[in-house]
Amino acid sequence: MKIPFNRPFIAGKELFYISQAVLEGRLAGDGRFTKNCQKWIEENLKCKKVLLTHSCTAALEMAAVLSEIDAGDEVIMPSFTFVSTANAFVMRGGKPVFVDIRSDTLNIDENIIEAAITEKTKVIVPVHYAGEPCEMEKISELAKKHKLLVIEDAAQGMFAGYKGRFLGTIGDIGCLSFHETKNVISGEGGAILINNDSLIERAEIIREKGTNRSKFFRGQVDKYTWIDVGSSYLPSELIGAFLFAQLENSEKVTAERVRIYNKYYDMLKPLEEKGYIRLPYSRNSSNGHIFYILTESLEERTELISFLKEQDILAVFHYVPLHSSPAGRKFGRVHGEMVNTDNAGNKLLRLPLFYEITDEMIEKVADSVFAFYRKYTKVR
């Protein structure tokens, strides 16, 4: 029994909707499936304006344009994140300022942010790691005090919440991902959530190659023309059709991922109690996006990965902290110590977690982790 790390899945009418889109003769973006997805997300996440994009990376790039980043402007973010969080701003000439994460949630440490703010700071980017919410109250307060924008990287935060609100709907802008490794998928895919009214009109323009095409189609202007910078950030209807079926089934999918998360948690708890590993911060994940364990050291993690591989189990780690990557060193700067970031970068291991993983597979993974520690502690 081979256990992959991730496996994309069909949750309902994906293929039927794709064939409908084809038969209706609408393959370009912003047809009825794209609009249905946007409306669905607006209603279910309680959000003012949602625009589908072809990735979360694209949503972050749009957010960087919307925040009017100029050369040298600083953007405060964690270093323990995916490259797109930083790249989107670097492409506009911005400078990522990396601050450490908290040792418990692995999210940006809200208590260091203020000291990292300078005259040049324009944006704070909280990344909700594994769907665990950042301390948005404190972050929003700081942003208000220093007149900064808050752009949530909620790529992993679909349906996770913070104080009664959904992640991605709290900052000025939120960015979601529907990449095949996320909870709700469309292969590649994403959405930008615009929670600040003053940014909505410009967001539509940037997404439509810098034109007022959206306004034209609504009959609000009589000419469709180039009026601002922009690019092609909208996905094809085929993506919208696939995604709509996923959204319709997203409650069931999320509940199943949470069940898998809880099963891992319960099975591995004894190893944490004996002091061998650390389990994720939350006993109850709100969206079951990632299940990770923290090992004692980089060497131990490397050995555990090969041990699992021998049992046909693919477990993976991320991230190489951005502040220590070649591009991160070139384009960004570090504020303060990076102890917790380096720790997570060296010791975190993600276990297989996907919608169709079976109980038998979960048990094999957990048993294998146990077997490793029985063996490992003996040889140590």
Which stretches of the chain bind ligand PLP, using CB under 6 A?
55-57, 81-82, 84-85, 127, 153, 155-156, 177, 179, 190
SS percent in the chain: helix, strand, coil, step 5:
45, 15, 40
Count of residues making up the chain: 380
Tokens of 336: 């303060």
CB of 289 to ligand PLP, least distance (A): 9
CB of 175 to ligand PLP, least distance (A): 7
| Residues in Cβ contact with 244 at an 8 Å cutoff, skipping those fewer than 6 apart | 17, 33, 36, 37, 40
Q: Name the one residue in this structure whose structure tokens are 């190659």.
A: 209
CB of 88 to ligand PLP, least distance (A): 9
Q: Which is nearer to ligand PLP, 165 or 318 (CB)?
A: 318
Q: Which is nearer to ligand PLP, 234 or 361 (CB)?
A: 234
CB 88 within 8 A of CB 127: no
Residue 52: strand pairing partners: 191
Map residue 349 onto helix, strand or coil.
strand
Cα separation, 194 vs 205, in Å, equals 13
Other Cβ atoms within 10 Å of 250 Cβ, number? 21
CB of 139 to ligand PLP, least distance (A): 16
Classify residue 25 by its DSSP letter: T
Burial class (CB in 10 A: 0-12, 13-18, 19+), 28: exposed
Helices 298-310 and 359-379: crossing angle in degrees, nearest 10, is 130
CB of 229 to ligand PLP, least distance (A): 20
Q: Which is nearer to ligand PLP, 57 or 169 (CB)?
A: 57
Q: Which is nearer to ligand PLP, 64 or 271 (CB)?
A: 64
CB of 201 to ligand PLP, least distance (A): 24
CB of 217 to ligand PLP, least distance (A): 26
CB of 332 to ligand PLP, least distance (A): 16
Q: Name the one residue in this structure whose structure tokens are 């709700």.
A: 184
Give the closest residue to 81 by CA, choosing from 16, 152, 31: 152
Cα separation, 169 vs 165, in Å, equals 7
CB of 348 to ligand PLP, least distance (A): 13
Q: Which is nearer to ligand PLP, 175 or 369 (CB)?
A: 175
Q: Which is nearer to ligand PLP, 156 or 346 (CB)?
A: 156
Q: Which is nearer to ligand PLP, 206 or 271 (CB)?
A: 206
Q: Which is nearer to ligand PLP, 77 or 369 (CB)?
A: 77
Q: Which is nearer to ligand PLP, 133 or 190 (CB)?
A: 190
Provide the H-helix boundaries in the chain.
Answer: 14-23, 32-45, 56-66, 83-90, 113-116, 136-145, 200-207, 213-217, 237-248, 250-273, 298-310, 326-331, 339-347, 359-379
